[in-house]
Amino acid sequence: MADKKQEFVTHITPRNEDFSQWYTDVITQTGLCDYAPVRGCMILRPYGYAIWERIQAEMDARFKEVGTENVYFPMLIPESLLLKEAEHVEGFAPEVAWVTQGGTEKLQERLAVRPTSETIFCTMFAKWLQTWRDLPMKYNQWCSVMRWEKATRPFLRTSEFLWQEGHTIHATEEEAQEETLTMLDVYRQVAEDVMALPVYVGRKSDKEKFAGARATYSMEAMMQDGKALQAGTSHNFGTNFSEAFNIQFQNKDGRLEYAYETSWGTSTRLIGAIIMTHGDERGLRLPPRIAPIQAVILPIAAHKPGVNEACQKLEQELKAAGFRVKLDDRDTVSAGFKFNDWELKGVPVRLEVGPRDLENGVVTVFRRDTCEKSTMPLENLAGSLQELLDDIQKGLYEQAKSFRDTHTQIVHNMDELGQAVETGFAKAMWCGERACEDEIKEKFNASSRNMPFDQEGETFGDTCVCCGRKAKHVMYFAKAY
């Protein structure tokens, strides 16, 4: 019975039939993750974690390039610290998991499993910061956070999830704003250049900003069901937290000043974004720059002389050339099973090597993005493979961008807005009032996403899409994950 199972290609629900079920089918059948025996939590299995490692490597190198240093702060935060900044505690308290017992001892004060770490970073910044010479401090940590969510979905919303959180303090408001936007741009680069996710970047409304921030910026990606996924945020706190935590420094004139602060974060949500942006009826399609395995080598008629040796040689050559390749020489499953398995897992390129290929001095090449087959000369395969991977990377980005652009509509009234958010994003003029956001939310279950930076070049009217009063901003609205 177990033998049978391995040969059976499991069914994936078509996307247009039930996108949500398609998503669930893909993540479970690819072995990216599994449901944990703890409410609302998931387990990142090897293939899913390998994608996260790739995201970490790409992000982390860029963080360090702009002068960020990694640190590690405790996962438990005393309740009294969480209470110090009023907006912040109001935003997070309802979803905190509390430690109340340590060993045999009932704790005097409850400890929050960190939902985010601003308050504990601020406590230490206040201790460490003395003079202007100590600034800026630009720290980041890779860790997990816990938010006691009611409704959860793997990668998109789970009680515990992996993320990175950057926390920085600066001598001036300008510098803090520059940091906020620099990190947003780092996120955009990784999203667009590495994960092939086209994103809209811009500022969130006051309603949607982070609890305690003066301004929140986000990047918003569009999933294939037309819904928005907030894929990264960067916050400028001004001196909100500095005042609550007394983070002061002696400036060059010897006077005490409050430091200006930022924070910024991305999470395993990005894996959800990759799946829902690029996946198709056969499963995942991973962009080559984020794929844990860029090419899988399959021996065909492996018992024939020379086939296995040629495959091993090819694997060594491509690894030496810096590619992430895997030779699948399992003899416990059929070639057909392997084809399906690696297509499901979204490996960008499959290289088939059989006796006839070897006779002709070629490999048979299957590209996962278009599902096209061709052949390539074995000679200088590394060069041709790099070109092919670049082409796939570019193609996936352009396909996603084309989808996003054709599913973004400029709208002038509520009817148009309501229609637009059924299939994608609505780009509208907005008065800036929360009442209009609330009305749009109530009528269409759509929320404001963000406001493009170049508002001048983007305007297309002067009345609010909802109330008809004078418009102040261009705003994207969408249903959202």
- Residues lying near its own copies in the complex (CB under 8 A) are found at 2-3, 5-6, 34, 36-39, 41-46, 49-50, 52-53, 69-78, 81, 94-105, 110-111, 113, 120, 123-124, 127-128, 130-131, 133, 139, 143-144, 146, 148, 159-160, 162, 250, 332
Taking the least distance from each CB to its own copies, the nearer of 344 and 466 is 344
Peptide bond into 136 cis (omega under 30): yes
Q: How far is the CB of 114 from its own copies (least distance, A)?
A: 10
Taking the least distance from each CB to its own copies, the nearer of 258 and 453 is 258
Q: Which two tokens stand for residue 257?
A: 């000043």
Give the CB-side neighbour count of residue 270, counting CA atoms within 13 A.
Answer: 33
- Phi and psi angles of residue 125, each rounded to the nearest 5 degrees, phi first: -55, -45
Q: How far is the CB of 238 from its own copies (least distance, A)?
A: 24
Angle at 318 between CA 364 and CA 369, to 5 degrees: 50
Q: How far is the CB of 239 from its own copies (least distance, A)?
A: 20
Q: How far is the CB of 146 from its own copies (least distance, A)?
A: 7
Burial (CB count <10 Å: 0-12, 13-18, 19+), residue 223: buried
Taking the least distance from each CB to its own copies, the nearer of 2 and 320 is 2
Q: How far is the CB of 402 from its own copies (least distance, A)?
A: 34
Q: How far is the CB of 37 from its own copies (least distance, A)?
A: 5
Taking the least distance from each CB to its own copies, the nearer of 223 and 271 is 271
Q: Could you give the CA distance from residue 430 to residue 474 in angstroms, rounded to a whole number?
A: 6
Q: Which two tokens stand for residue 84?
A: 């110090």
- C-alpha of 27 from chain center: 15
- Residue (of 144, 397, 441, 448) closest to 267 by Cα position: 144
Query: Buried (b) or exposed (e) across 332-366, using 16+ Cβ within 10 A?
Result: eeeeeebbbbbbbbbbbbbbbbbbebbeeebbbbb
Q: Could you give the CA distance from residue 251 to residue 271 in angstroms, rounded to a whole number?
A: 43
Taking the least distance from each CB to its own copies, the nearer of 159 and 224 is 159
Q: How far is the CB of 422 from its own copies (least distance, A)?
A: 32
Q: Which residues contact 356 (CB under 8 A, 6 or more apart)?
A: none
Q: How far is the CB of 73 from its own copies (least distance, A)?
A: 5
Taking the least distance from each CB to its own copies, the nearer of 126 and 480 is 126
Taking the least distance from each CB to its own copies, the nearer of 37 and 457 is 37
Q: In what order do the strands lie in the sheet with 349-353?
A: 325-327, 295-299, 349-353, 362-367, 372-377
Q: How far is the CB of 63 from its own copies (least distance, A)?
A: 12
Q: Could you give the CA distance from residue 467 to residue 445 in angstroms, rounded to a whole number?
A: 17
Taking the least distance from each CB to its own copies, the nearer of 53 and 174 is 53
- Residue (of 326, 445, 321, 441) closest to 383 by Cα position: 321
Q: How far is the CB of 299 from its own copies (least distance, A)?
A: 18
Taking the least distance from each CB to its own copies, the nearer of 151 and 415 is 151
Give the CB-side neighbour count of residue 316, counting CA atoms within 13 A.
Answer: 6
Q: Which two tokens stand for residue 350?
A: 């499959």
The answer to whether residues 425 and 409 touch, using CB atoms and an 8 Å cutoff, is yes
Q: How far is the CB of 36 from its own copies (least distance, A)?
A: 5
Taking the least distance from each CB to its own copies, the nearer of 144 and 384 is 144
Question: Residue holding tokens 């009680």?
Answer: 159
Taking the least distance from each CB to its own copies, the nearer of 331 and 415 is 331
Q: Could you give the CA distance from residue 154 to residue 23 in angstroms, rounded to a whole number?
A: 9
First to last CA, the chain: 39
